[in-house]
Amino acid sequence: MIPLSWYLIFAAGLFSLGLFGVLARRNAVAILLGVELMLNAVNINLAAFWRYGNVADMTGQVFAIIVFAVAAAEVAVGLALVISVYRSRNTVVADEIDMLKW
């Protein structure tokens, strides 16, 4: 049988890879890819805690479903923003999109 720790460490690794992608990639689309990895890592945790806790309590799965919905919304809006920015500034490099600074 697989101990809970395996899943957790796996999820932590996935999360850290995603974090690296978010922090290090120049391309905004790639940053969003990293975010997806992080969300998946969280979902693994939720599912794992459901399975290793009280199976009759569906909270973990429900949260995972809602994370799906939020991830879908986030991707839709995020990519729309990237495309919109790309249209107006001809770039998808996150460092160059700095209109919000002083």
Partner 1 sequence: MTTAQIIFLVVAAVTLASAFMVVTTRNLIHAALWLVATLFGVAVTYALLDAGFLAVVQVVVYIGAIAILFIFAVMLTRKEMRDQGPQLNSGWWISALLAVLTFGGLVGMLWGWRGMDTLASEMPVGFDSINALGDALISPNAFVLPFEVASVLLLAALVGAVYVAFNPRSGDSRK
Partner 2 sequence: MTTETLIWLIPLPPALAFFLIVLFTNKNKALSHTVGVGAAVLSWLASMVVFFRALSVEHLGEHPFVSSVNWLPTGDTWFRIGVAIDPLGAAVLFFVSITIFMIFLYSVGYHNFGQPAGDHDRKGLPPHGATVTDEHGHQHVVPSVEPMYSRFFAFLGLFAFGMYTLVVSDNLLTLFVGWEIMGLCSYLLIGFWYGKPSARAAAIKAFMTTRIGDVFMLLGIGLLYSLTGTLNFREIFGNEELMHTLATPGTTLFGLSLAGLIALLLFIGTVGKSAQWPLHVWLPDAMEGPTPVSAMIHAATMVSAGVYAVIRMFPLLSLDHNTMTVVAFIGTFTAIFAATIAVAQNDIKRVLAYSTISQLGFMIAALGIGAYVAAAFHLVTHAFFKALLFLGSGSVIHGMEHGVLHTGNHSVDPQDMFNMGGLRKKMPITFWTFLIGGFALSGFPLLTAGFWSKDEILADAWANGHLAVFITLATAAFLTAFYTMRQITLTFLGEPRTKEAEHAQETPWTMTVPLMVLSVFAIGYGWVGIPEDFPLLGGLLPSWFHEFVGGTLAEHPEVIPFNPVPLTVSLVVALGGLLLGWLYYRNVNSAKEDFFQIPLLKNKYHFDEAYQVVFIGPVIWLSEVFTKWADQGVIDGILHFFGPATGGIGAFIRNKIDLPIINEFIGDGLAAVTQETGRTLRPIQTGRIQQYMMLSLVILAVVGALLYFMLGAGL
Which residues would be at the binding site for partner 2 (CB under 8 A)?
19, 22-24, 31, 94-95, 97-102
Q: How far is the CB of 39 from partner 1 (least distance, A)?
A: 9
Q: How far is the CB of 5 from partner 2 (least distance, A)?
A: 19
Report the sign of the C-alpha dihedral through residues 44, 30, 26, 95, in that order: negative
If one asks whether residue 59 binds partner 1 (CB under 8 A), the answer comes out as yes
Cβ-based nearer residue to partner 2, 24 or 62:
24
Report the sign of the C-alpha dihedral through residues 23, 27, 32, 33, in that order: negative
For residue 83, the partner it binds in partner 2, partner 1, none, with Cβ less than 5 to 8 A by kind, is partner 1
What are the backbone dihedrals phi and psi of residue 10, each rounded to the nearest 5 degrees, phi first?
-60, -50
For residue 38, the partner it binds in partner 1, partner 2, none, with Cβ less than 5 to 8 A by kind, is none
> What are the residues whose beta carbons fall under 8 Å from the beta carbon of 35, sequence distance 6 or more?
18, 22, 74, 78
